[in-house]
Structure 1
Amino acid sequence: MKSIQAFLSRPYLASFKLMAFIVVLLISLALRFLHMGESIDGPHSWRQCDTASYIQNFYQDGVDFFHPAVCWMGGYKTLILEFALPEAIVAWSFDFLGASNFTSRLVFILFFCVGVFYFYKICRLMVNERTSQLATIIYTFLPLSYYYSRAIHIDFFALSASFAMYYHYSKGIANQSPKALAIGSFFAILAFLVKAPYAMPFVLPLLYQIYKEKKWSFCLKNSWIFLVPVIVFVWWVRQAAFINSQAPDWSFIPGYRKFDNNAKWYFGSFEHRFILRSWMTLGGRFIDELGVGIVGIMLLLAGMMHSWRKKQAPLLWFWLGGLVIYFFTFFNLNVIHNYYQIPFVPVFALFMALGINRLSDHQGSFLKRRLTFIGLVVALLLSCIYYSETLFFTRDTEYETIAAHIEKRSQPGDLVLVSHDDHSVHCPWILQRAHRNGWSVSPDILTDEIIHQLIAENCKHLAIIDDKIPLGLKSIITDGYAMETIDLKDEKGKRLYWINLIK
């Protein structure tokens, strides 16, 4: 046994361990290429469709950060959901790599890889090399990472920028380097403009570091460097609200609103935090999509208990504390969108890595320790893959079929009114896949008045997806509009009623 331990402890094996680390990371990235198709899959294909609309508009009409376009705002199109730098970079890449969802996914994976690098660097600030490598591997395999890193989705750009912000701020504080702080503020600007909430959890660990290292004087002296991202962010929020307030007044459409005041959407009501159903939804996600079942939860708890008892990695606990504040602040968004749990992925990965080390290091012999370590890692990674492949990558084939019919029957510049019972007025599911702009109004609220108002806005086609034309639409039948009925072969008997609104 001692001979095995001596062999495995030889210096040249350090390079072998590094190579194994890199190989496993490459395998993790390679698995994403099994899901690089043109279909925008679920869950949350809604947000991906909006992102794809931004990209396509930037590619066709040029990048204009003050006028990004969604597909469900008719001919007006402009809606600012974030500072669309990730989408602009993807659109610019189309000139070299071709305009496709594959290219979009590839660029978003590159954003993710930047975050992987910085996450590893952050881990090294908190734990040893072995734990850092293991946590980095787990980070790339956990389901929310596995799925969203190759989705047409901005969140890992924002998280990667937040990682870089924290790392450079931390180094700047430790080394009393204004240059490092300036680099941190550059990344903070990117994070704040694209998705500020994802940078929020890093405030507590930074404050703890300043307190622990007694760097208050240095930070106060250079406080203007920290203030620059805040000033830029406040300016952008005001600018975005003003631009969104200029949207047309389509109040005749029930549920339509301008996106100039989103506080209720972001924060929800205080009472919302006490709704049992919300907690059941979140609990299921934390167990399956973050904890990956019993294996991951066991390792997570083992890592947390060991770290707490040994007072190991205090920065990690302050990071977790920042996440708790983030979670309750943006509770409404966390309930509605599972991708708002993405900031938890790196912390879960670190605690799981600590748990694996804790459980394996307390096995008797050297060989048992190594076999336990390998067994736990393999079990966790296989569990990650299983939950990812089971829960995610769902295709909305119904919407794809409807979109194909719409695209075939209309011209690129035509404005289309889509009426589907699953769609709200802000829904891009069908319009984006059809590469058309227009509006979305569900059949239960669609009226003759709405249709005629939108005809005045240059709407040329109406697509009703239902088992029958709503009874309230008398003009569709009596006013002589040309209509085609397409059987969708749907279980509920739904048809596509395609109506030309130009006589």
Structure 2
Amino acid sequence: MFFLINYIEYQLKKSPVLFLLGIALSVRLYNINSPIIGIHSWRQADTAAMARNFYENGFNLFYPQIDWGGNSPGYCETEFPIYSFIVSIFYKFFGVHELFGRLISVTFSLFTIFFLYQLIRTYFNDATAFWSCLWFSILPVSIYYSRTFQPESMLLMCSVGGIYYFNKWLESQKLHLLCISALFVSLACLIKVLPIIYVGLPLLFLAYHKFSHKIFTKIYLWLYSLFIIITVALWYYHAHQIFLEYGNTFGFWGGSSDRYKYDLILKSNFWLQISFRTIVRQFAVLMFPIFIAGLLMKRKTQQEYLFDIWLLSVVLTWILAPTTSLVHEYYQLPFMLPGVVFIGKFFSKYFNKNHQGKNIKKFLAICLSLSILTSFTIYSIDYMSKERANKSKVFQLAEIVKDKIPSDTLTIFTTGGDPTLLYLSHRKGWMINPRDLNEEYIMSKIQLGADYLVGSFDFIQSYKSSLDDMQKNRINTVLSKYPNILHDDSFFIAHLK
């Protein structure tokens, strides 16, 4: 334990940024070759499918394609697919492999740590920046979503980069810094809409702190804001036109979307689940009390309140999009960016040679060691254990599909809203929940070109392990009417002649 502490203190003085990037890289490279399975594989599958479709069907950034569009081209209303497009460029030179998507995510996460370090040291000191970024590098949620095949890692980089360069512009008034910030913030809001809140409010705070009531007279701030708003509005208008023409969407707007069930925020279960994730997966249990202690520490300057505003802004987005925030834990991920700052403040103050309290230093040393152990334990159990291909029923069925079904056919998959099996199978078609499966539905898809029906009795979505008797009976009723290529206790494949 003391060797670890001495080594960290040595690196803090010698080369803190290189040490942080080295630690972050090493933990993120573990199992980097994993296929698209495990936690939130359905989100990764859609992202990976868009990358593969860019590569296979032409690099048209403005028309992203998913695999579950049936006999349509699969163009879909979605967030700006810049991440998938970048991955597809690597596919052009090296071939299709999920490794490149994961490596790109890791690279963005390293830039996130660099920008976060530079931003924190602006308001505090090198020690606070070091401890903050160390915890961002090794806490479970941060590690996992920094190497998944989805744009969250790029989103965090753009969020921090936007705030960092905006602050640099306020200090120097150099116009190119404001332009870089505008580019980063625009990309963040294109990747996800909610950064308008949790990046916009911190930017507003910084601008008001600098210019006070004169903020509305600054032409560059108006141009900056208009650029971001117009860019985002143009993309989402275009994306909605894709939905109107092709009918495929991730459900952003309108009455059909379930993202805005505001009665959820009045239920204790909503806050209990989010609190559990925050305490266990974000702060690895032991760092949560340290986070609270840092939150209660006195602010030395008004500018330090930037991180309070940032923190509250993220919480506000949970309330504004409650269903999304409850179902998708990566919507809590931006909380880590300002959250680790308060841990860093506490360690910086009490875990140094100049501090007289030996007991608290020993306590923090124990917390440091135990938290690293706890973090990696949670990461292994909650995340990495789900990425074992030899134990994944979804992966096993996908291999069977690739062997038994021609690649140019259309298939119905009984996987609800989860496209993981489609992606792993490298097939296109439709998805349906077994409870909605009937002969009328099958016939309607046969008329559209459906050739096969595929699914499992062991899972629906990759995150739902079993079917009830009613769902199994519906499937068996349909299977009895068509030739079965495969029909056992686990999987089924029917040829829809």
5 Å matches for 1:280-295?
Answer: 280-293=272-285, 295=286
Q: Which residues in structure 2 correspond to 1:213-362 (within 5 Å)?
A: 213-214=210-211, 216-217=214-215, 220-222=218-220, 223-248=222-247, 259=251, 261=253, 265=257, 267-293=259-285, 295-307=286-298, 313-360=304-351
Unaligned 5+ runs, structure 1:
1-7, 249-255, 488-493
When structure 1 is superposed on structure 2, of 14-23 and 142-151 the one drifting more is 14-23
CA contact (8 A) 2:163 2:203 kept: yes
Larger mean CA deviation between 200-209 and 359-368 belongs to: 359-368
1:297-326 deviation per Cα after TM superposition (whole angstroms, max 9, x unaligned)? 121111111145997822211212222322
Helix, strand or coil for the counterpart of 1:378?
helix
Once residues 120 and 144 of structure 1 are traced to their aligned partners in structure 2, the CA distance between those partners, rounded to angstroms, is 19
Q: CA deviation at 1:119?
A: 1.2
**Secondary structure of residue in 2 paired with 1:463:** strand
Q: Secondary structure at the match of 1:22?
A: helix
2:22 to 20, 26, 51: 26
Q: Structure 2 CA distance, aligned partners of 1:19 and 1:298?
A: 29
Structure 1 CA distance, aligned partners of 2:55 and 2:129? 39
Give the 3 Å change call, closer, same or farther, for CA 263–300 of structure 1 in structure 2: farther
Q: Is the 8 A contact 2:55 2:89 kept in 1?
A: yes
Question: SS of 1:327's equivalent?
Answer: helix
Pairwise CA distance, 1:381: 2.8
- C-alpha deviation, 1:237, in angstroms: 1.1
- For these two proteins, the number of residue pairs brought into alignment is 471
TM-aligned CA deviation for residue 78 of structure 1? 1.6
**Is residue 398 from structure 1 mapped to residue 393 from structure 2 by the alignment?**
yes
Report 1:28-47 matches (<5 A).
28-47=24-43
How big is each residue's C-alpha offset from its partner over 1:391-439, in whole Å with a ceiling of 9 and x where there is no partner? 11213701111111111111222111112xxx32x32021111111111
In the alignment, which residue of structure 1 is the partner of 2:464?
none
Structure 1 counterpart of 2:463: none
Q: Deviations over 1:341-366 (max 9, x none)?
A: 11001122111111223443599659
Aligned equivalents of 1:470 and 1:304: distance in 2?
Answer: 55
Q: Which residue of 2 aligns with 1:491?
A: none
Whole-Å Cα distance in 2 between the matches of residues 219 and 17 of structure 1?
A: 44
Q: CA deviation at 1:56?
A: 1.0
1:448 aligns with 2:429: no
Q: Distance in 1 between matches of 2:476 and 2:364?
A: 66
Q: Using a 3 Å threshold, how does the CA distance of structure 1 residues 62 and 18 change in structure 2: closer, same or farther? A: farther
Match of 2:448 among 452, 457, 474: 457
Q: Equivalent residue of 1:73, what SS?
A: coil
The answer to which of 191-200 and 329-338 deviates more is 191-200
Matched, 1:427 2:453: no
Supply the distance in 2 between the matched residues of 1:84 and 1:360 (Cα, whole angstroms): 43
Between the aligned partners of 1:84 and 1:501, the Cα distance in structure 2 is 34
| 1:80 counterpart = 2:77 | yes
> Cα distance 1:500–1:75, how it changes in 2: closer, same or farther (>3 A)?
same
Match of 1:415 among 410, 415, 421: 410
Distance 1:292 1:244, change over 3 A: same
Q: Distance in 2 between matches of 1:43 and 1:360?
A: 35
Separation of aligned partners in 2, 1:150 and 1:285: 19
Is the contact made by 1:162 and 1:191 (CA closer than 8 Å) also made in structure 2? yes
Within 1, Cα distance between the matches of 2:423 and 2:318? Answer: 31
Aligned partners of 1:157 and 1:266: how far apart in 2? 25
Q: Distance in 2 between matches of 1:471 and 1:144?
A: 38
CA RMSD of aligned residues (A): 2.8
Give 2:490's match in structure 1, choosing from 482, 485, 495. 495
Distance in 2 between residues matched to 1:185 and 1:175, nearest whole Å: 16
1:263–1:191: structure 2 CA closer, same or farther, 3 Å change rule? farther
- Out of 316-325 and 225-234, give the one that drifted further: 316-325
CA distance in 1, matches of 2:21, 2:419: 34
| Alpha-carbon shift at residue 239 of structure 1 (Å) | 1.0
- Please say if residues 241 and 259 of structure 1, whose CA atoms lie closer than 8 Å, have aligned partners that are also in contact: no
Distance apart, 1:189 and its partner CA: 1.8
Partner of 1:177: 174
Q: 1:135: which partner in 2?
A: 132
Separation in structure 2 between the aligned mates of residue 472 and residue 27 of structure 1, nearest angstrom: 49
User: How far 1:266 sits from its partner (Å)?
Assistant: 6.7
Q: Please give the alpha-carbon distance, in whole angstroms, between the structure 1 residues aligned to 2:162 and 2:300.
A: 30
Q: Which amino acid aligns with 2:234?
A: W
Identify if the C-alpha distance between structure 1 residues 209 and 48 changes in structure 2 by more than 3 Å, giving closer, same or farther: same
d(CA) in 2 for partners of 1:128, 1:16: 12
* Partner residue, 1:252: none
- The answer on whether the counterparts of 1:461 and 1:501 sit within 8 Å (CA) in structure 2 is yes
Compare 384-393 and 434-443 and name the one that shifted more.
Answer: 384-393
CA–CA distance in structure 1, aligned partners of residues 381 and 474 of structure 2: 41
5+ unaligned residues in a row in structure 2: which ranges?
1-5, 458-468
- 1:342 aligned counterpart, secondary structure: helix
- Which position in structure 2 is the counterpart of 1:194? 191
Once the two structures are TM-superposed, the CA of residue 89 in structure 1 deviates from its matched residue by 0.6
Asked if the contact 1:176–1:218 (Cα under 8 Å) also holds between the matched residues in 2, the reply is no
Equivalent of 1:57, from 53, 57, 62? 53
> Quick one: which amino acid aligns to residue 499 of structure 1?
A
Provide the residue aligned with 1:251 in structure 2.
none
User: What TM-score do the two structures reach when normalised by structure 2?
Assistant: 0.87
Tell me by how many angstroms 1:485 deviates: 3.0
Q: Summarize the Cα distance change of 1:449–1:356 in structure 2 as closer, same or farther, 3 Å threshold.
A: same
2:153 pairs with 1:124 = no
Structure 2 residue identity aligned to 1:483 = N
Is the deviation greater in 358-367 or in 165-174?
A: 358-367
Q: 1:262 to 1:471 in 2, by over 3 A?
A: closer
Give the structure 2 partner of residue 4 of structure 1.
Answer: none
SS at match of 1:74: coil
Partners in 2 of 1:354 and 1:321 — Cα distance? 18
CA contact (8 A) 2:349 2:355 kept: no
Paired with 1:212 and 1:18, the residues of 2 have a C-alpha distance of 34
**Correspondence 1:87-102 to 2 at 5 A:** 87-102=84-99
Note closer, same or farther for the CA distance 1:368–1:465 as it changes in structure 2 (3 Å cut): closer
**Would the alpha carbon gap of residues 258 and 245 (structure 1) be closer, same or farther in structure 2, given more than 3 Å must change?**
farther
